[in-house]
């Protein structure tokens, strides 16, 4: 309406899009809270699979079915599967709620994972005198040390009632593992004032019987014990006046971060993508990524910059018990634990905590060995600890609290990631040898303990620099290609998997099409080389062309012959049009490895007809069905 009042109102305008390129957007005024008076608005920050969303849906049912109050809930998720971020937006009130949008002005905010305090603007929009609950193990001076300055200032300036509870510890004590939902839901009913707490607890325990009764009385009693423990272990924090002037940097200490990550990926990762202007996608970004936008292109190898730090516990390596089998790296779903080989010279600048032992095995003389964990990329699933054979009954890996590991291991990981990858000293045909190759699939959004990604990772270690992947829609497409972070990456030569996502039902045909297209292009290249051999070119070039033709269908042979041919053509092609055309097709010289990825829903059901057809063609394509 303000636009219409202007002397030259904009036609074809946008609202909510910050269009600073073509200028079509209308400025957004200050947020107006139009919820009816007395409406209680709540926001919950949860971790995927911790039960937060389910518990909040349960809360809506409890209030809606047992009171005269109106109830509303909206739920937002990222694409990280379990272990990702969830946001629950709840409203309760005596009047009909007509607010078809997320909570912008909250009376109650709860953060169910302590790692979030360092990453997200948790208290954005919280009302004066509101309530903030944090699930964390911290108390006293440790709590003050771990809270960012900006969070402390907001708590003090808005006079918030601040509470903490160690829900993870309580859940473990009563046998609930990582399911903290009932504990945090009890805290909500105690503090939010939606229902009298005794009445709410009674309804909550009734809901527990309904939800978990089929799983047995033991499960019901564990959840009831969690509810009772929550009431006894909630701590109100006395907020010191000094928090109002708290100072200190809340920013990242990382260096050498690509500009695209800073300008585009990080805001999206922080749930602030709606605030990105159009210019962020249109700007040409210099540096590691030659990205010119806005064509939908997202650079690869960006998951390494997320550093989510969502694990409660991470593995600690004890070299005295390590037999150097590399099983831990082999089973890690997120490539967060890796063996390191280094020479003595390469370790001259190693951090003080970078412990190594002499490498054992044929071809490893002169190398030092270490198992390195990226603590901020680990999800704490424990697969590595479970598979570790250890020595004399003692494992080489034990789970330790994340906070006890980060100070030393973050520096160690940064150092190890800069070391040369010695992937040529031992063959990849064994578990041990394969893990010395850099995985070209890392730090994905798959669930903690995922049984699929270790195979995807292994495929990239064996074939990754020459892979073409057709990926059916499903789990593997979500953790493999969701914006903004890309887990597929490249090696030091800039080579890595070329990945594409098809429809659910036609992935086999999609991958087979890649094979047909590649075959047609290489056949054309073969004809060009045959013509060149019959023409007036040097004997050295003819020899190189003949060598490639003889080995073009062998992976390593075609690579070696192709490298020799490229070096000759770059030097001697001159004005020969045929040789220049051959050089322009150098990406085809190394034999490609075609892969078709998908889950059991695609392979055994809707896509079975196409898969059966492709397999019957008996062509050189590989199929990985992740039947989990």
The 10s digit of each residue's pLDDT in 29-72 is: 777 788 899 999 999 999 988 889 999 999 999 999 999 999 99
Would you kindly state where each structural domain of the chain is located, as residue ranges?
A: 1-30, 40-245, 259-299, 313-437, 446-628
- Of the listed ranges 11-25, 245-259, 423-437, the least confidently predicted one is 245-259
* C-alpha separations of 418 from 64, 373, 571, 615 in Å: 56, 14, 33, 42
Contact between residue 106 and residue 74 where contact means Cβ atoms under 8 Å apart:
no
Q: How confident is the model at residue 80 (pLDDT cuts 50, 70, 90)?
A: confident
CATH class belonging to 259-299: few secondary structures
Percentage of the chain lying above the pLDDT 90 cut: 80
Predicted confidence at residue 31, as pLDDT, reads 75
Task: Select 313-437's CATH number: 3.30.70.20, 1.10.20.10, 3.40.50.720, 3.40.190.10.
Answer: 3.30.70.20
Average pLDDT over residues 424-432: 94
The two tokens of residue 17 are: 């899009």
Residue 305 CB neighbour total at 10 angstroms: 19
The CATH superfamily holding the domain 446-628 is Thiamin diphosphate (ThDP)-binding fold, Pyr/PP domains (3.40.50.970)
| Selected residue with higher pLDDT from 305 and 282 | 305
Per-residue pLDDT of 507-555, as tens digits, reads 999 999 999 999 999 999 999 999 999 998 999 999 999 999 999 999 9
Residue 95 CB neighbour total at 10 angstroms: 12
For residues 105 and 20, give the distance between their C-alpha atoms in angstroms, rounded to a whole number. 27
Average pLDDT over residues 19-31: 83
CB burial of residue 553 (10 Å; 0-12, 13-18, 19+): exposed
CB burial of residue 353 (10 Å; 0-12, 13-18, 19+): exposed
Enumerate residues 6+ apart whose C-beta is below 8 A from 518.
Answer: 468, 588, 592, 594
Number of DSSP helices (H) and strands (E) in the chain, helices first: 23, 18
**Residue 588: how many CA atoms within 13 Å on its side-chain side?**
20
Helix (H) or strand (E) holding 46: strand 40-47
Q: How confident is the model at residue 607 (pLDDT cuts 50, 70, 90)?
A: very high
Average pLDDT over residues 350-374: 97
Contact between residue 476 and residue 456 where contact means Cβ atoms under 8 Å apart:
yes
For residue 329, is pLDDT > 80? yes
Find where tokens 């020899």 sit.
543
Per-residue pLDDT of 167-213, as tens digits, reads 999 999 999 988 899 999 999 999 999 999 999 999 999 999 998 99
Q: How confident is the model at residue 295 (pLDDT cuts 50, 70, 90)?
A: low
For residues 535 and 134, give the distance between their C-alpha atoms in angstroms, rounded to a whole number. 76
For residues 587 and 502, give the distance between their C-alpha atoms in angstroms, rounded to a whole number. 23
Contact between residue 512 and residue 617 where contact means Cβ atoms under 8 Å apart:
yes
Task: Select 40-245's CATH number: 3.40.920.10, 3.30.470.20, 2.30.30.790, 3.30.420.40.
Answer: 3.40.920.10
Average pLDDT over residues 89-118: 95
Q: How confident is the model at residue 253 (pLDDT cuts 50, 70, 90)?
A: low
For residue 559, is pLDDT > 60? yes
Average pLDDT over residues 300-323: 95
Helix (H) or strand (E) holding 338: strand 337-342
């Amino acid at each position: 309406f303000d636009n219409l009042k202007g002397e030259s109102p904009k036609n074809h305008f946008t609202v909510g899009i910050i269009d600073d390129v073509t200028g079509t957007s209308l400025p957004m005024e200050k947020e107006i809270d139009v919820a009816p008076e007395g409406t209680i608005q709540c926001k919950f920050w949860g971790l995927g699979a911790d039960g937060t969303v389910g518990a909040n849906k349960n809360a809506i049912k409890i209030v809606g079915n047992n009171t005269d109050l109106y109830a509303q809930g909206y739920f937002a998720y990222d694409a990280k599967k379990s272990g990702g971020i969830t946001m629950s937006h709840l409203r309760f009130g005596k009047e009909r709620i007509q607010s078809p949008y997320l909570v912008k002005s909250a009376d109650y905010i709860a953060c169910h994972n302590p790692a979030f305090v360092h990453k997200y603007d948790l208290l954005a929009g919280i009302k004066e005198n509101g309530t903030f609950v944090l699930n964390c193990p911290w108390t006293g001076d440790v709590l003050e040390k771990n809270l960012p300055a900006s969070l402390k200032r907001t708590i003090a300036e808005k006079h918030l009632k601040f509470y903490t509870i160690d829900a993870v510890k309580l859940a473990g004590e009563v046998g609930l593992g990582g399911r903290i939902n009932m504990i945090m839901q009890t805290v909500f009913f105690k503090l939010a004032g939606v229902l009298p707490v005794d009445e709410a607890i009674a309804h909550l325990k009734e809901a527990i019987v309904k939800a978990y009764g089929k799983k047995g009385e033991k499960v019901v009693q564990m959840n009831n014990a969690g509810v009772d423990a929550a009431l006894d272990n909630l701590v109100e924090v006395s907020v010191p006046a000094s928090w109002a002037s708290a100072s200190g940097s809340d920013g990242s200490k990382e260096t050498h971060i690509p500009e695209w990550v800073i300008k585009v990926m990080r805001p999206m990762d922080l749930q602030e993508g709606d605030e990105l202007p159009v210019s962020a996608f249109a700007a040409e970004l210099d540096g590691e990524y030659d990205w010119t936008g806005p064509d939908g292109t997202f650079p690869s190898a960006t998951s390494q910059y997320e550093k989510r730090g969502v694990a409660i516990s991470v593995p600690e390596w004890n070299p005295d018990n390590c037999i150097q089998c590399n099983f831990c790296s082999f089973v890690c779903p997120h490539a967060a634990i890796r063996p390191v080989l280094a020479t003595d010279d390469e370790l001259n600048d190693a951090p003080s905590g970078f412990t190594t032992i002499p490498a054992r095995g044929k071809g490893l003389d002169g190398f030092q060995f270490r198992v390195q964990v990226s603590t901020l990329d680990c999800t704490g699933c424990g697969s590595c600890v479970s598979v570790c054979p250890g020595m004399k009954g003692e494992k080489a890996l034990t789970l330790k609290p994340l906070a006890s590991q980060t100070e030393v291991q973050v520096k160690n990981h940064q150092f190890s990631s800069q070391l040369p990858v010695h992937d040529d000293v031992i063959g990849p045909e064994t578990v041990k040898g394969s893990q010395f190759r850099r995985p070209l699939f890392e730090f994905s959004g798959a669930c903690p303990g995922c049984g699929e990604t270790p195979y995807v990772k292994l495929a990239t270690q064996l074939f990754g620099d020459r892979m073409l992947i057709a990926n059916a829609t499903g789990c593997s497409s979500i953790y493999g290609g969701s914006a903004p972070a890309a887990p597929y990456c490249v090696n030091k030569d800039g080579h890595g998997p070329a990945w594409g996502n098809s429809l659910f039902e036609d992935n086999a045909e999609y991958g087979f099409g890649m094979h047909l297209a590649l075959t047609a292009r290489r056949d054309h290249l073969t004809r060009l080389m045959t013509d060149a051999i019959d023409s007036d070119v040097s004997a050295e070039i003819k020899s190189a062309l003949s060598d490639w033709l003889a080995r073009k269908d062998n992976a390593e042979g075609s690579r070696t012959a192709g490298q020799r041919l490229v070096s000759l053509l770059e030097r001697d092609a001159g004005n020969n049009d045929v040789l220049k055309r051959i050089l322009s097709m150098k990406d085809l010289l190394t034999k490609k490895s075609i892969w078709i990825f998908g889950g059991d829903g695609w392979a055994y059901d809707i896509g079975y007809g196409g898969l059966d057809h492709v397999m019957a063609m008996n062509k050189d394509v590989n199929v990985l069905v992740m039947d989990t």
